[in-house]
Structure 1
């Protein structure tokens, strides 16, 4: 009898089918034959014994007198069976042969990958929602579900899931980074667990923000890659609106600033504009707005202010100084605090029924006084900090406006003038002289361009046109805005003192307004704002039919009425008799050819002028009271050259307006005549 281990018998591969010989399974047929697999039976028949199992049979004594140990044969071993004699563990330990070129690697279908990713995301998100401190490692696992080679659909799912998870789990405070000394100190188990969770949260959030920044930098690629970039930008906007107080706010704002530096009005660009405006409008703290304004102004300066005007218009949403609705005051507490104090007062009244000594009552009274002082001090500190941050934001905005005004950037002139007119009451008086000179230059260039006297070289002409050759500068609107800005500069100041001390002369702007009344009355778009719906001209070239993105300003007629109100109805600076009568006569003339709404606006202004300066303009109705000589010149460009007090002037326009098709226009004219008639009695 031979000694030693018996020879190993070769395993024979079973045939796949009874009527077909053994062959290699192709990867394409692998999933088609998956239904034939009996996984439960294979798992039940699996040998779970140890690899080197100790023999349980006792040794025997052979006929020759030697003691020999007999090895056990494995159960179920059948030489005729196709399972072979090798143990199952040996078969499992055999290395798998790599797939050859004829046998490609198994590829999981896209639907299966998406389904698997959804299940993993739901499981990890559920853990974080249930107890985030116990599953702090889930942040990293959630990011590892997709990789650079994962399908785009899976990457989108992971990005959106991370944004939703961080939006829910981020606390309402900023997490500071712990130093080595802090980590080495002895703390309780709960504190240590909280620190570990916070560090995991910050580390995962930082990696997520970096990943979003890398995706947002990609501007070229196929449609799927650009769609992934859009998802990343949407995630950035969601985080800025949801958790603007948390860490890495600067990195998120930098992503928005890089997108706003683009010259193309893409949907991602519009999304960033909407997000930034909402941040400015909803910011009650002031710190996010200050940081956003700083990043945005630096980006504009780096781009030499060659940006879209929508980026500059976001400053209109800032809650600056007086526009900021303070949540606290220096003289009184907030309404919720007042309610709380009332509740505390009621509680004290109930406690008075309890037996207290005189010393205890004195102690409670002193404690309430200290709490009140602390609340007022806290409210004052918060108000001062917020006012300081708003002042810094206002300073950066004005610096940007002045630089653009000095550089004469054509596509941003309207936005800058509107911004100066909006925040004119906040500008320091020391800058009035320089601003007025710049505004005069703008109006002079507009007048020269309207007369065809403005000479430009090829580079300046190219700068004033967009890619389709259309002029992007509306000089009429710029002139109105410049005039409005000049009068608004002094609206919030002591006009008489400011004008005398700074030697401010606004007669140039008054003459320009008087001179531009006739051209404005013939403008077909006088009632249309920049965002009004225009029907395209079928005969116009296609380049001029595109919708132009203009500044969201008022209509020209509304700007004109504001300017005329500043000229004629300012209480501290009443107009002379000649100026009041000349403006009234010309406004009455242009109201004949204005559209219905514009005519009503002008006549409403004339009614206010008649009510306030009736004695100065009643000479237009009664020629016997006129003292002027000469001939009336209605086409004159100056107030004095019109000679409105001569015998040739009159109010014949009222006879035409009494027969106007609009009943409201007829009523407005009748009210003006009634006011003048009441003065003459």
Structure 2
């Protein structure tokens, strides 16, 4: 075959004579001339060479940053040929072997992340605009918005879509719960408007459920790479936002589970503190009581499953509960009030005879009550009786948790539990007073033994062991909290009656407080909480420093003043004369060593004691009124062993305090002395 011969164009119709070109060929004549078609000759004269075209497109940069040449898709030149005709060359390759792909035949490059992010932003803006215009008309936008990101999408796109969905659902969720519709309800004969509303609510609930499941799966997957760790943080933040924005809506339990699962960890991360802050605000904003009960129930189950090995901040969230602090508004009548109103001069008022009501009127009254009930639910009125009942159940769960931690002696949670018991002690049932006081007495006794052992230690290794134990539990603070709880138990009760009927004796706590005054005055951190520092640790992370600088518990001096006020200023149980004198003398002595603010707090307390028990303490100023024998022993650990009414007691500390560098301290000392001298005159 001569390649120089020009290729003969293939004809689809048989050749026709020039003389008969103008004549119309019949169909029968067309098939009769088929034998004259020269198909083999035409195929033989076809060119066997492939035509390669130069690339006509500019090179692009792929995701790895390398330049790559692309080529426009080539059109098949043999599209017009029959399927059974080959288009190979003279050097046909054997079957089963293929030519290796060239650079131009590689797969198409992926779309850059910036381009995908820009496209996602544009689509999110479009869908959000449609839902703002008419959300019921574009109910399918919830599903379209969720479909913008998949597991194969870049992390930046996934984070953008998650945040956008949270904002969209936050704006479109109504102020009421939506029940799930059954298939027969969706297919029933209803009006067009009702059907449209049901379809919108069904799309909203379905899309929101899928979104919450996605957030839960992302938040609970902790074994992720560093790239996907930020995606997990975004999922937790979206859960916190939805829980605070729409706590009344469906799937609240799933969102709470996300927070509780994060609180189970013992690491101080940014997500952990975000969940703590969200839960505290969630408790503060709750006006119904049911959301708080659900959250506390989940927390208590998690604490029990973890054997109470969690961080102290988790229990500190209970301080933000609105437990029985909101009473019924004034003017509302209860059952007892209604019974009192129905009595006039000791006689019950006869009830009016019930009038006969027709069947039609009874039906109307029933419908009216149903409408009033729906209106009350729609207006979101708080039922105070129901709220108090829910808060009582919440309080039971909190106390059960406190008692279990108290029994287990968990080192990191004892301070939070004792502070919680001191805060809610007036709500504890009297039947539990005896067991609780016994447990508190053991804690105080353990703290006293640990302090004496620390003073007697001589071995450096044992010294480190005791120091580590004290740092873990802070026994001094536990002792103060236990004493405060013991006195608070009887603060809202009839102390004399309760003590006599249940044999409650608080003298042990009074003696321990008197014994610990000197060591507390020498504590350099008496004005700082256990989680606070004067300066942040430069080697610690930012989240750890933020947690340590956040003081969320009482300082030792504040706890001490509360305990002293319970001992010396309780109206129902005034202290004996010897107790008042011994405490007044020792408090004056420790005021010389305390810092400025602590000294002012103690002197303010002494001013109240002098104003209330001036007759009992005036013997310290006037020696002729003292009737004690022996010598004053300032270092004695017992009130009776101090011998405060003997020679050498006096109030010589006040003369030194009058020369204090702080003018406020000098002024406070003058007020205390003026109260006693005015009474003596």
Is TM more than 0.5 here? yes
- Tell me the CA shift for residue 403 of structure 1: 0.5
Equivalent pair of 2:536/2:549 in contact (CA under 8 Å): no
Does residue 611 (structure 1) correspond to residue 614 (structure 2)? The answer is no
C-alpha distance in structure 1 between counterparts of 2:547 and 2:307, whole Å: 25
8 A Cα contact 1:309 1:551, kept in partner: no
Kindly state the Cα deviation for residue 545 of structure 1 after the two structures are TM-superposed: 10
What's the counterpart of residue 394 of structure 1? 395
1:576 offset after TM fit, Å?
A: 0.6
Q: Distance in 2 between matches of 1:198 and 1:99?
A: 56
Task: Report what 2:594 is aligned to.
Answer: 594
1:388-537 matches, cutoff 5 A:
388-452=389-453, 471-535=471-535
Distance 1:144 1:100, change over 3 A: farther
Matches within 5 A, 1:216-295: 216-295=219-298
Whether the 8 Å CA contact 1:404–1:412 is kept in 2: the answer is yes
For structure 1, which runs of at least 5 residues remain unmatched after alignment? 38-81, 91-96, 333-366
Question: How high is the TM-score relative to the length of structure 2?
Answer: 0.77
Distance (whole Å) between structure 1 residues aligned to residue 510 and residue 306 of structure 2: 37
CA distance in 2, matches of 1:24, 1:380: 73
Deviates more, 1:584-593 or 1:124-133: 124-133
In 1: Cα distance, 2:451 partner to 2:79 partner: 100
The match for 1:358 is none
- Tell me, in whole angstroms, the C-alpha distance in 2 between the residues paired with 1:517 and 1:264: 36
Residue 651 (1) aligns with residue 651 (2): yes
Distance change in 2, residues 1:326/1:288 (3 Å): farther
Question: How far apart are the structure 2 equivalents of 1:274 and 1:294?
Answer: 18
In 2 relative to 1, CA 232–462 (structure 1 residues): closer, same or farther, beyond 3 Å? farther
When residues 305 and 22 of structure 1 are mapped into structure 2, their CA distance, relative to the original with a 3 A threshold, is same
For the Cα contact (< 8 Å) 1:420–1:485, is it kept in 2? yes
Whether the 8 Å contact between 1:414 and 1:478 is mirrored in structure 2 is yes
Partner Cα distance (2:322, 2:558) in 1: 24
Given that residues 514 and 638 in structure 1 are in contact (C-alpha distance below 8 angstroms), is that contact kept between their aligned partners in structure 2? yes
Q: How much does 1:86 deviate?
A: 6.9
SS of match in other structure, 1:105? coil
Q: How far, CA to CA, are the matches of 2:165 and 2:545 in structure 1?
A: 43
Q: Distance in 1 between matches of 2:78 and 2:381?
A: 88
In the TM superposition, residue 125 of structure 1 has moved relative to its aligned partner by 1.5
Q: 1:101 to 1:325 in 2, by over 3 A?
A: farther
> Does residue 190 of the first structure (1) align with residue 154 of the second (2)?
no
Which deviates more, 544-553 or 237-246? Answer: 544-553
* Aligned counterpart, 2:24: none
Task: Please report how far the alpha carbon of residue 439 of structure 1 lies from its aligned counterpart in structure 2 after TM superposition.
Answer: 0.5
- Cα distance in 2 for partners of 1:150, 1:503 equals 70
> In angstroms, what is the RMSD of aligned CA positions?
3.9
Deviation string for 1:548-570 (max 9, x for gaps)? 58872121111111100000001
Q: Tell me the CA shift for residue 33 of structure 1.
A: 11
Q: Distance in 1 between matches of 2:665 and 2:162?
A: 60
Q: CA deviation at 1:289?
A: 0.8
Tell me whether 1:319 sits opposite 2:322 in the alignment. yes
Deviation at 1:108, TM superposition (A): 0.8
Whether the aligned pair in 2 keeps the contact of 1:520 and 1:526 (CA below 8 Å) is yes
Q: Relative to structure 1, is the Cα distance of residues 328 and 238 closer, same or farther in structure 2, using a 3 angstrom cutoff? A: farther
Partner Cα distance (2:666, 2:126) in 1 = 73
The equivalent residue for 2:635 is 635
Closer, same or farther in 2 for the Cα pair 1:291/1:463, shift >3 Å?
Answer: farther
| Aligned counterpart in structure 2 of residue 137 of structure 1, from 137, 140, 144 | 140
The answer as to whether partners of 2:155 and 2:228 remain within 8 angstroms in 1 is yes
Pair 594,116 (structure 1): closer, same or farther in 2 beyond 3 Å: same
Q: Distance in 2 between matches of 1:413 and 1:23?
A: 76
Match of 1:105 in 2: 108
Partner Cα separation in structure 2 for residue 165 and residue 581 of structure 1? 68
CA contact (8 A) 1:27 1:105 kept: no
CA drift at 1:397: 0.5
Once structures 1 and 2 are overlaid, which stretch shifts more, 441-450 or 645-654?
645-654
Per-residue deviation, 1:98: 14
> Does the 8 Å CA contact 1:410/1:464 hold for their aligned counterparts?
no
Secondary structure at the aligned position of 2:472 is classed as coil
How much has 1:119 moved relative to structure 2?
A: 1.1
1:22 aligns with 2:54: yes
Q: Give the conservation status (yes or no) of the 8 Å contact 2:145–2:165.
A: yes
The alpha-carbon deviation at position 196 of structure 1 amounts to 1.3
> What SS class does the counterpart of residue 452 from structure 1 fall into?
helix
Q: Are 2:159 and 2:231, in contact at CA under 8 Å, matched by a contact in 1? A: yes
Secondary structure class of the residue paired with 1:186: coil
Looking at structure 2, the residues matched to 471 and 213 of structure 1 have their Cα atoms a distance apart, in angstroms, of: 37
Cα distance in 1 for residues equivalent to 2:254 and 2:423: 31
1:123 aligns with 2:126: yes
Once residues 313 and 147 of structure 2 are traced to their aligned partners in structure 1, the CA distance between those partners, rounded to angstroms, is 38
Report the CA distance shift for 1:454/1:631 in structure 2 as closer, same or farther (over 3 A).
Answer: closer
Matched, 1:330 2:295: no
Contact 1:629 1:645 in 2 (8 A): yes
Whether contact under 8 Å (2:517, 2:586) holds in the other structure is yes
Question: Out of 290, 294, 313, which is 1:310 matched to?
Answer: 313
Q: What are the equivalent positions in structure 2 for 1:136-155 lying under 5 Å apart? A: 136-155=139-158
Q: Distance in 2 between matches of 1:411 and 1:257?
A: 19
Q: Deviations over 1:237-286 (max 9, x none)?
A: 01000101111100110011000000001000000000000000011111
Flag the 1:623–1:132 CA change in 2: closer, same or farther, 3 A.
same
Following the alignment from structure 1 to structure 2, what is the Cα–Cα distance between the partners of residues 247 and 415?
33
CA contact (8 A) 1:259 1:269 kept: yes
Contact 1:527 1:557 in 2 (8 A): yes
Partner in structure 2 of residue 57 of structure 1: none
Unaligned residue ranges in structure 2 (runs of 5+): 1-13, 16-29, 84-97, 335-364, 457-461
Q: CA deviation at 1:106?
A: 2.3
Give the C-alpha shift of residue 123 in structure 1: 1.2
Residue of structure 1 in register with 2:218 after alignment: 215
Shift of 1:399: 0.5
After superposition, what is the alpha-carbon deviation per residue over 1:510-544, rounded to whole angstroms, capped at 9, x for unaligned? Answer: 000000000000001111223544237999xxxx9
Indicate how the Cα distance of structure 1 residues 656 and 236 shifts in structure 2: closer, same or farther if over 3 A, else same: same
Give 1:226 deviation, angstroms: 0.3
Paired with 1:23 and 1:562, the residues of 2 have a C-alpha distance of 87
- Tell me by how many angstroms 1:463 deviates: 11
User: Once the two structures are superposed, what CA deviation does each residue of 1:549-599 show, in whole Å capped at 9, x if it has no partner?
Assistant: 887212111111110000000111111100000000000111111111111
Residues 206 and 610 (structure 1 numbering): CA distance in 2 closer, same or farther, change over 3 Å? same
Is the Cα contact below 8 Å between 1:27 and 1:104 reproduced in 2? Answer: no
**Distance of aligned partners of 1:546 and 1:23 in 2 relative to their CA distance in 1, 3 Å threshold:** closer
Structure 1 residues 665 and 380, CA, compared in 2 at 3 Å: closer, same or farther? same
CA contact (8 A) 2:59 2:69 kept: no
State the distance in 2 between where 1:585 and 1:645 align. 10
Q: 1:538 to 1:15 in 2, by over 3 A?
A: closer
